[in-house]
Amino acid sequence: MAKVKKLPRSIFQRILGIPATKPPRDPASFSYSAGKLTVDLSRAAELDVPGGALRCEGGGLPVRVLVVRDDKGGFKAYRNRCTHIGRRRLDPVPGEGTVQCCSVNSTTFGMDGKTICGPGKHPLTLYPVTKEGGKLIIDLHNA
């Protein structure tokens, strides 16, 4: 198997589970209502570039969601919770086509959510994403 690239994070960040993806610069970049998470792309500068990610938490959301712009310009939405016991947050690894746990063990998943390596053996939960004009609509009904 090809070597998996780790995001450059300090051991302290890994031990404390501090993800590289910071909270949104614009708290109004997303909203939640009736099972749907809506991301306003005009306010979510984090998603302007491939490999970018938006952390959606709070605001009534039933789960933490990480929205990632993949290396081909498409969008994916993951439950932002590693499937390993620590349940830490995730980060995209730009240019690698992977999503990685921020913890010391760094379980790494493909963009399809399947485990590539690490102790988180179960796949990530992905939510359906629809692009409508300048907005992403993410269906969390099964969250």
Give yes or no for residue 107 binding ligand FES (CB under 6 A): yes
Asked if 44 contacts 54 with a C-beta cutoff of 8 angstroms, the reply is: yes
* Least spacing, CB of residue 87 vs ligand FES, in Å: 6
Nearer to ligand FES, 46 or 91 (CB): 91
Query: What whole-number distance in Å separates Cα of residue 53 and Cα of residue 20?
Result: 10
* Least spacing, CB of residue 123 vs ligand FES, in Å: 13
Give yes or no for residue 120 binding ligand FES (CB under 6 A): yes
Nearer to ligand FES, 55 or 88 (CB): 88
Give yes or no for residue 80 binding ligand FES (CB under 6 A): no
Give yes or no for residue 101 binding ligand FES (CB under 6 A): yes
Query: What whole-number distance in Å separates Cα of residue 69 and Cα of residue 102?
Result: 18
Nearer to ligand FES, 29 or 100 (CB): 100
Edge-first strand listing for the sheet containing 75-79: 53-56, 65-69, 75-79, 126-127
Instruction: Return the residue of 7, 82, 93, 111 that touches ligand FES, per CB under 6 A.
Output: 82
Give the single-character DSSP code of 1: -
Compute φ and ψ for 15, nearest 5 degrees.
-65, -40
